[in-house]
Every structure is written in structure tokens, then in C-alpha cells.
Structure 1
Amino acid sequence: MSENSQHDKSQESAEREEKHKRKSQKQKEKVDAKVAKATIEKGVMIVVTGNGKGKTTSGFGTVCRCVGHGYKAAVVQFIKGKWDCGERDLLEGHGVPFAVMGTGFTWNTQDRAGDIAAAEAVWTEAKKFLADPQYHLVLLDELTYMLGYDYLDKEEVLSTIANRPENQSVVVTGRGAIRELRDMADTVSEVKEEKHAFKAGIKARKGVDW
């Protein structure tokens, strides 16, 4: 390689580096400005919905983050049955209380009255968590189904969440979140399914899917 060619490549490299620095600096300034504007201190409501996999996983990830920082969290599981739950096995050992509906999927029970009674019983426990300021975070896993199926009184659920302690955060998961939940949430994430192993005949994996 000639001396001129080496010089040209060095100059191009320096110009790319300078361009990258200018672009990064502009991005940093934008991010810093947004961070500076976020001055409100309060608990948030997060809704994770959609037809893709990972909604409950996201909720439990937030619970783990909360507990990892030394805060208290509580978990309410609607729909879920009595089968093993790796997250529950782990988190109960770290002092996280669980209230579990325990009936499984409604299409398995085929008992609407029984499902409603079970939902109302677990909602009674949820209301205790949502009224207790010691809990930094409450996960309401699969709550969306309870509202979509009219198993719980919508107005009571919305009012209880809205009137929780000011610094308490709530994560609601499940498909088909109703408009009222989305509207009152601070953050809404829609999980979209592109592919799913189950549809290819692959069994759910312990330690991965449950």
C-alpha cells in the first residue's frame, strides 16, 4: 500500500470517528434533556399485553428487579393452576407473598361460577396488597382475563388500582387488556407473536417456559 493510500485511509478513519462523536454527543444531549424533564416521583402502572409470549416473564423480571434492590413485592396470579411455578418457588424463598387463583385455565375448568368465586377470593388478597404501602411493587398476573370474562367488577378493580399508595407500582399482564386499563397505565407494552415453538409441536420446557 502506498504512503498516499495509507494517509487517505487514516484521514477517512479520523473523519468517521469525528462524525460518530458528533452524532453520539447529539444523542446524549437529547437523552439528558429527557432525563432532566422527568422530575415526578411516584409509583407507576405498567400493562404488558398482546398475543406474544413473555408477558408474565416480563412481570416477574420486574419483581426480581424490585426484590434485588431490597424492596418488597407481592404477586397475584389469576388463571394459573396448581402446577409448578419456577418463579414462585424462587421468590417465595425471598419473602415475596403470592396469592394464586389455582383453578387453571377457564377452558379446562368449564365452571364459570366456580371460576368467578376463585377470582373473587384471590382479588380479596390482591386488594390487601394494593392497600399496603410496604409493597413497592404488586404484580397482577393475567388480570386482563378476569376483566375480559367479567369475573371481577371492572369499576372496583380500576378504582382499587387507581387509589393504591402513591409510591406503589403495579404491573398488569395478560392478553386483551381493556381500553380502561391501557388508558390509566403509565406504560403499555404490546407483545407481538411472530413465531411460537408450541405451534411447531415443541413441548413447553421446564425452566424455560414454566
Structure 2
Amino acid sequence: MAQDWREEVKTEKPYRKPTGQRRGLVIVNTGDGKGKTTAALGLVLRAVGRGYTARIFQFMKHAGAAFGEHRALERLGVEIEGLGDGFSWTSKDLERSAALAYAGWRRAREAVLGGEYFLVVLDEITYPIRYGWVPLEEVLETLRQRPKKVTVVLTGRGAPEPLIELADTVSEVRKLKHAFDAGVPAQRGIEH
């Protein structure tokens, strides 16, 4: 007679219940794979669905962008602000790009420190940090000084090691395969 499947079910949990207090987190989504921003937007949906406030700053998207996520978030009442002038590798004026990034950082910093939002997303902030347009130490100090209830999600490739060390949660999205490498261009509803 075959053993009953219920005898094989383990009753022990594979983890211990955390004993710490709930608080705002620093979450970093980095790596060369697709999905870092998408994961951050998923957290925005979860927070807004629970009645919390969220705000998104996109460091590489230009002001007035109307990508799919902008349209959907506008319907949900979530503020999303493009701070840049597009992708830096197509910029014809890198000094202007740097000035826009830093001015945007100052607005984002105010939102993080102001405590009005439960969740603040700093999308693609690793690029202006790596280019030297936004000082890493200012970002780290802002994260340390933020109100305890505020969660900040930072996205982008090549997150610097000091940011990874400061973060509570870090996910690396690794590319195994991407349609773009096979010649498929970015598509509405998928990449933008």
C-alpha cells in the first residue's frame, strides 16, 4: 500500500518568525536584467492598494513622458515625475543632463525626507550616481536621515557597493536572454 501523502508533509516552517519591529526599508533592484523598474512599480501597486501614498521619480525619463506606466499610475493618483532628458547615451548636452539630474535629485530628496509618502521610488538613480551627477554620499545621507516610516526603492544597473551595504533588501536581476539581443525592438506595453 502506498504511503499517504499527508505523512510526507512537513509541519516545521523553513524559517523563524522575525521578532523585530516593522519600519521603512531601503530596497535596491540592480543588475543587467529586465524587470528592476517593473518590480518597483509592483511595490507601488501593493502600497497604493493598501491605502498608502507613493511617489516615483524617474531619473532617465524626460518630463512629460507618457509611457504605459505613467498613464496607469495617473489613473491611480500616483505622482510620477520624469527628471531627465531621455537616455544619457543619446544626450547632445551632457552638462544639461547632469543639471537636470541634480535638480531632480533635490526634489526627490525633499520627498524622501518630508515623510509625506509611505513609498518613494528613485528609478534609474544608479546612472546619475555613476556618472557623478548626483553625489553618492548625498544619497546615502538622505537614506540614513529619512523618517523611519518611509520606504525607498532605488533601481538601476551597477548599484555602488556602499548603497548595497546600506540597503535592507537588495535584488540582482540577471539577464539570461533578452529579445533585444535577437533584434526585437522595444515594444509598447512591454518596455514602455
TM-score in terms of structure 1 length = 0.86
User: Following TM superposition, by how much is the alpha carbon of 1:17 offset from its aligned partner in structure 2, in angstroms?
Assistant: 3.3
Matched, 1:185 2:167: yes
Q: Which residue of 2 aligns with 1:12?
A: 2
SS at 2:29 equivalent: strand
> Is contact 1:99–1:125 with CA below 8 Å preserved after alignment?
no
How far, CA to CA, are the matches of 2:45 and 2:76 in structure 1? 10
Matched, 1:89 2:75: no
> Is contact 1:116–1:151 with CA below 8 Å preserved after alignment?
yes
2:177 to 174, 195, 210: 195
What do residues 2-61 of structure 1 show as CA deviations (whole Å, max 9, x unaligned)? xxxxxxxxx2132x4312x2x2x12x2x43xx22x3322210010000000000101111
Unaligned stretches of 5+ residues in structure 2? none
SS at 1:139 equivalent: strand
Amino acid at match of 2:93: D
Amino acid at match of 1:49: T
Alignment length (residue pairs): 191
User: Mean alpha-carbon deviation: is it higher for 167-176 or for 73-82?
Assistant: 73-82
How far, CA to CA, are the matches of 1:92 and 1:125 in structure 2? 19
> Is contact 2:60–2:88 with CA below 8 Å preserved after alignment?
yes
How far, CA to CA, are the matches of 1:170 and 1:68 in structure 2? 17
Q: Which residue of 2 aligns with 1:106?
A: 88
> Is contact 2:37–2:123 with CA below 8 Å preserved after alignment?
yes
How far, CA to CA, are the matches of 1:161 and 1:76 in structure 2? 15
Matched, 1:42 2:31: no
Unaligned stretches of 5+ residues in structure 1? 1-10
Matched, 1:154 2:144: no
User: Following TM superposition, by how much is the alpha carbon of 1:93 offset from its aligned partner in structure 2, in angstroms?
Assistant: 2.5
TM-score in terms of structure 2 length = 0.93
Matched, 1:173 2:163: no
Amino acid at match of 2:39: S
> Is contact 1:99–1:126 with CA below 8 Å preserved after alignment?
no
User: Following TM superposition, by how much is the alpha carbon of 1:99 offset from its aligned partner in structure 2, in angstroms?
Assistant: 2.6
How far, CA to CA, are the matches of 1:196 and 1:162 in structure 2? 36
Amino acid at match of 2:7: E
Among the aligned pairs, what percent are the same residue?
42
User: Mean alpha-carbon deviation: is it higher for 187-196 or for 96-105?
Assistant: 96-105
Amino acid at match of 1:131: L
- The runs of 4+ residues in structure 1 deviating greater than 4 Å are none
> Is contact 2:65–2:82 with CA below 8 Å preserved after alignment?
no
Q: Which residue of 2 aligns with 1:4?
A: none
RMSD: 1.4
SS at 1:150 equivalent: coil
User: Following TM superposition, by how much is the alpha carbon of 1:83 offset from its aligned partner in structure 2, in angstroms?
Assistant: 4.2
Amino acid at match of 1:155: E
Structure (1/2) with the larger helix percentage: 1
Q: Which residue of 2 aligns with 1:78?
A: 59
How far, CA to CA, are the matches of 1:119 and 1:165 in structure 2? 23
Which one has the largest radius of gyration? 1
> Is contact 1:44–1:185 with CA below 8 Å preserved after alignment?
yes
